[in-house]
A and B are shown apart, each in its own frame.
Chain A
Amino acid sequence: MNLNVKTIVAIGIGAALFFVLGRFAVVPVFANTNLSFQYAVLAFFAVLFGPIAGVLIGLIGHILIDMSWGWGIWWSWIIVSGVVGCGFGFVVRYAKIEQNDFTIPLIIRFVIGTIIVNLIGWGLIAPGLDILIYQQPVNHVFTQGLFAFVGNAVTTAVVGTLLLFAYNKAQPKAESLYKE
């Protein structure tokens, strides 16, 4: 696998951030389901460093969160964290827009793209895996998935956009230097 050093470090630090936010910045919504901000960070890092970084940050970060709560590892949702991380990486590639502004069309693309990725992840794959592994009642897991989808889609779209926009503002642009 050809990962450059920066991506490797980004995966490590991204997973640490994912862990800290997932563990300490939580707002509860439904049975065993929290409104979680780590998916905004996941989307931010996936856009900056690509889908491979996205998968690994999601997987490593989520495993660490589950471990630290003390209830052990909930594999079905961990896999989904990896899947959405990968998906976010394909929505917008920062390398292509680095020199430009994070404009309205890009914001719209980011918002709609992450909503679709979240819908597939939390609305379909997470309940599917819960049924496959734990044979939980269908309407229970889909309700749980729906809550997770709404929460994560909102935090990813709102906070993710804010983060990307602010980060982009702070970076020097192609036209920022003039010849006098």
Chain B
Amino acid sequence: MANRTAGLTYIEKNTPLHKMTGGAKLLMLLFMSLAAMITFDTRLLVVLVVVAISLFVVAKMPIKEMKMIFSILAFIMAVNLVVSYLFSPEEGVAIYGSRTELFHIIGRYYITREQLFYQLNVTIKYFAILPLAMVFFVTTDSSEFAASLNAIGVNYKIAYSVSLALRYIPSVLREYHDISQAQQARGIDISKNVKLSKRIIGIATIMFPLIITSIDKIDRIAGAMELRSFGKHKKRTWYKARPFKKLDYAAVAVSLLFIVAAVLLNFVNGGRFFNPFS
């Protein structure tokens, strides 16, 4: 069960990324994702992918995990690219405003240079946006996570909710499995062998006890926190909070530069796409 939440687990190591404060890494993640979302300029996207992959290397991510992450990502993207091509084989032609046929498959499906370039761009974009968050989670201690959210300006109460969620996932997951097995022992089938409607009702019968115990849990935790006067003051301190250092400022500044570049390139290219065909 533990390996199923692998992407969320902090792995302790001694690397520059681990030494950075959580706040700086979170800002970097947000800025770089935003830059990658704004732009469709192939050159900037390639730079972002290179940065993202080098972050993986700097963070000394285990090779096995990286392989797993990239193979899942590649699979998801292959499905998405094929479906997106089937729906709209001339999308690239519409975007770049020119048409260079390479060969004809069947019916309305042609392979054009523009379509290939467009789908290449989409692929690079996924690789630029999607894996970044992984680096953050793997290099940031989960108890520092709440402190880092608070450090970048998120209300500490909300930051605390996030850390409660991370803290309680394992116990809710355990309860889910226990209840699911108890209900299956009573003859409730939620596997592929039964009709969809039966499956939905079956899952609902697991959800009900799970939610009732969760509501009880909420009462208990809230009571304990109230006894300790949680939320009395406007601010709170964090055991795991650390001050920003030079490296943190530098990383945030660099990631801000990516956003500036993304916005500027929109003007230079006269649109979000870099057009090599014109």
| A interface list, Cβ under 8 A from B | 1, 3-6, 8-17, 19-21, 23-25, 27, 31-32, 37, 40-41, 44, 56, 60-61, 63-64, 66-75, 133-140, 143, 154-155, 158-159, 162-163, 166-167, 170
Contact = CB atoms under 8 A, between A and B. Distances in A.
B87 A140 contact: yes
A27 B196 contact: yes
Given A64-B8, A68-B6, A71-B76, 13 more contacts: A9-B218, A9-B225, A11-B158, A13-B164, A13-B165, A19-B172, A25-B203, A70-B72, A70-B73, A72-B73, A73-B130, A75-B129, A139-B88
B37 to A, nearest CB: 5
A163 B211 CA distance: 8
Interface residues on B, range: 35 or more
Interface in B155-185: 155, 157-158, 160-169, 172-173, 176
Contact of A134 (B7, B122, B199, B200): B122
A134 B40 CA distance: 8
Contacts of A4: 231
A37 B190 CA distance: 13
B158 A56 contact: yes
Contacts of B167: 12
Contact of A5 (B87, B206, B225): B225
B173 A163 contact: no
A141 to B, nearest CB: 9
Identify whether the interface residues of B are mostly helix, strand, loop, or mixed.
Answer: helix
Nearest to B155: A1
A68 B68 CA distance: 12
A57 B217 CA distance: 16
Contacts of A24: 173, 176
Contacts of B40: 135
Contacts of A137: 84, 87-88, 91
Contacts of B272: 135
B199 A27 contact: yes
The 6 closest A-B pairs by CB, nearest first: A12-B164, A72-B130, A137-B88, A15-B165, A140-B87, A11-B161
Interface string B88-127: 1001000100000000000000000000000000100100
Contacts of B231: 3-5, 8
B134 A70 contact: yes
29 contacts: A3-B157, A3-B231, A8-B222, A9-B164, A9-B218, A9-B221, A9-B225, A12-B160, A12-B167, A13-B165, A13-B168, A13-B214, A16-B165, A23-B4, A24-B173, A25-B203, A27-B196, A56-B161, A61-B165, A64-B8, A67-B133, A68-B5, A70-B134, A73-B129, A73-B132, A135-B272, A155-B200, A159-B203, A163-B211
B42 interface: no
Q: Which residue, of B7, B33, B72, B165, has the highest number of chain A Cβ atoms within 10 A?
A: B165
Nearest to B135: A72
A132 to B, nearest CB: 9
Contacts of B5: 23, 68
Interface string B229-260: 01100000000000000000000000000000
Nearest to B230: A5
B86 to A, nearest CB: 8
Nearest to A132: B37
B172 A16 contact: yes
Contact of B210 (A17, A61, A135, A158): A17
